[in-house]
Structure 1
Amino acid sequence: METTYIQQIQEAAAFISSKLGQVKPVIGLVLGSGLGDLAHQVENSIAIDYSDVPHFPVSTVEGHAGRFVAGTLEGKQVIVMQGRFHYYEGYPMKKVVFPVYVMKALGVQTVVMTNAAGGMNRSFQAGDLMLISDHLNMTGDNPLIGPNHAELGVRFPDMSEAYSREYRALAHRLAEGVVGEDGKALKLQEGVYAGISGPTYMTPSELTMLARVGGDAVGMSTVGEVIAARHAGLKVLGISCITDMAIGEELEPLTHEQVVAVANRTKPKFIALVKAFVREVAM
């Protein structure tokens, strides 16, 4: 007999829990393209390949290692997704967000969602970090379409504060103590993330449209996961690494390798900010 979505979540969580020993994660971190090295900072870590977890899809994108890493980070017990799943990989949106519900079942209360994104705000530059204040769901899909599972959340979840104001204020304060290689304090941007389906990068006209309707950055992830997180009652901090400038009127050719390269250069300040947040956030 085919297992239900709830049963799949429970079975995946039970498997992961059986591998964690004394680790009881309260913070989940989802690491985007080129940002997976933060997982190496986790102490007393336990690694679990996605391919070993019941009902899990496989991450197929370069820069996504495809495993959980759990342990202690800055005194808090965490579980890190070293790579995520994307709608453009061909997975249904419910499968894309499946790990969010699994983390909730493991006891996670807070998630830090990160991604690599193109900057559409002319005041940004490649290498900036942007706190996500809100999003535009331009994927054409929603993970909550279909029957609602009351065990997971309410039928119509409120999205008026999808990204915690409290967490954003804390991150801005902590950024003042993050010093880059140039000796200057981290300049933390803030803006609206436009989530698209991908996998193509956008045309100049599409980027111009997204900027005009309020987008500050554009990417191919995060939105579905945040909807699921809020459905599950989790608090969210979202951080985009601006890997390229996506100005419609000035667009230049772009490759995934370029995106990962800029994310790699930005990693030190990204890791410093996330570690400071994990250390200071109240649980």
Structure 2
Amino acid sequence: MTKASKTIKKIAGDEPIAAAIVLGSGLSAIGDLLADKVTIPYSELKGFPGGGVSGHGRDLLIGTMGGKRVAILTGRQHYYEHGNAAAMRPALEAMAEIGAKTLLLTNSAGSLDERFRPGDLMLLSDHINYAGMNPLIGEPTDRRFVNMVDCYAPDLRAKAFGLAERLDIKLGEGIYLWYSGPSFETVAEIQMAIRLGANAVGMSTAPEVILGRFLGMKVWACSSITNMGAGLSTENISHEHTKTMAVQGAEKLKKLIPALVEEL
């Protein structure tokens, strides 16, 4: 057992968690939904993110949501911060060690598809690893050869669609392209991504999906659409714009995620 998971159990107790939830840019308000909340700063947990991106939290939250005990990582570390695709491995390993069987991921993304406008949610059905890096490079065991077919659990996606309809939340589904960042994409790169079949583009999530499957967790992910890709609108694309627009998606995710957790 890692030092981080031992620290979590010492502070928050031994009761296993049902799911781990990772929050993207501008989505940390979802953590406010937890009851009986225990807050542990990342700085107290070995290997957890350093919190180097504005709009991301710097705490691990343990508490109750949808009648289940869950852990919420209020921020993530990105490949573009240090050039390490496996940056989230220690945190996700700790989540698996304290009992998480399900990994729920959120992110803010740019749309490549007129069906998804700023403020909308897009459920991930698959992804394209355009960045080309993999968090399992260097893993010495044969476990590194992870099967990525249906890496976004079909049953969780089906449940999310049913819940979204009940909650009157517009929810579509599409393919996410992972771009390394930190600069935004060029107009030509956006056109390339569209031709490759992507519906949204972002700078995270794909490495965590790979790690989640490697660790034996069922994975689900949803994007909060904050802008149209470069050249698809007259918006001024910036990180500040991303954080501002993510609030609209966060309000919808604050309804959808607890309902989904309740169904686990």
Instruction: Answer whether TM exceeds 0.5 for this pair.
Output: yes
1:132-160 Cα distance to aligned partner (Å, 9 max, x none): 0000011221011113346xxx1311000
Matching of residue 146 in structure 1 with residue 159 in structure 2? no
RMSD: 1.5
Query: Does the CA-based 8 Å contact 1:87-1:96 persist in structure 2?
Result: no
Give the Cα separation in 2 of the matches to 1:15 and 1:40. Answer: 22
Aligned match of 2:188: 205
Residue 214 of structure 1 corresponds to: 197
Work out whether 1:263 is the aligned partner of 2:255. no
Report the counterpart of residue 36 of structure 2 in structure 1: 44
Deviations 1:139-194 (A, max 9, x none): 221011113346xxx1311000110010000000000122xxxxxx2110100010
Q: Is the 8 A contact 1:206 1:248 kept in 2?
A: no
Partner residue in 2 for 1:192: 175
Match of 1:172 among 141, 161, 171: 161
Task: Determine if the alignment matches structure 1 residue 85 to structure 2 residue 81.
Answer: no
Match of 1:3 in 2: none
Partners of 2:111 and 2:225 within 8 A in 1: yes
- Which structure 2 residue ranges, 5 or more long, are not aligned? none
Equivalent position of 1:56 in the other structure:
48
Is the alpha carbon distance of 1:261 and 1:250 closer, same or farther for their aligned partners in structure 2, counting shifts above 3 Å?
Answer: closer
How far residue 42 of structure 1 moved from its aligned partner, in angstroms, is 0.6
Contact 1:134 1:192 (8 Å CA) reproduced: yes
Q: Show the counterpart of 1:128.
A: 120
Cα 1:249–1:127 shift into 2, 3 Å: closer
Partner of 2:3: 11
With structure 2 as the length reference, what TM-score do the two structures score? 0.96
Q: Which residue of 2 aligns with 1:69?
A: 61
Structure 2 partner of 1:156: 145
Q: Tell me how far apart the structure 2 counterparts of residues 205 and 166 of structure 1 sit (CA, whole Å).
A: 36
For 2:96 and 2:14, locate their aligned partners in 1 and report how far apart those are by CA, in whole Å.
Answer: 17
Deviations 1:79-108 (A, max 9, x none): 000011101111522223321121111110
| Residues 44-95 of structure 1: per-residue CA shift (max 9 Å, x gap) | 0100111111233401111111110001111101000001110111152222
CA separation in 1, counterparts of 2:141 and 2:43?
Answer: 26
Instruction: Determine the structure 2 residue equivalent to 1:98.
Output: 90
Partner AA of 2:227 in structure 1: D
Distance 1:105 1:241 in 2: 29
The 8 Å contact of residues 119 and 247 in structure 1, kept in 2 or not, is answered as no
Q: Note if 1:226 corresponds to 2:209.
A: yes
CA deviation after TM superposition for structure 1 residue 266, in Å = 2.5
| 2:49–2:75 contact (8 Å) kept in structure 1 | no
In the alignment, the residues of structure 1 paired with residue 136 and residue 2 of structure 2 have an alpha-carbon distance, to the nearest angstrom, of 18
CA distance in 2, matches of 1:59, 1:168: 29
What SS class does the counterpart of residue 176 from structure 1 fall into? helix
Does the 8 A contact of 1:208 with 1:249 survive in 2? no
Question: Could you tell me how far apart the structure 1 residues matched to 2:141 and 2:85 are?
Answer: 15
**Residue aligning to 1:273:** 256
1:114–1:240 contact (8 Å) kept in structure 2? yes
SS in 2 for 1:112: strand
Q: What residue in structure 1 maps to residue 106 of structure 2?
A: 114
Alignment TM-score, normalising by the size of structure 1? 0.89
SS of the residue corresponding to residue 117 of structure 1 reads: strand
130 and 249 in structure 1: CA distance in 2 versus 1, 3 angstrom threshold: closer
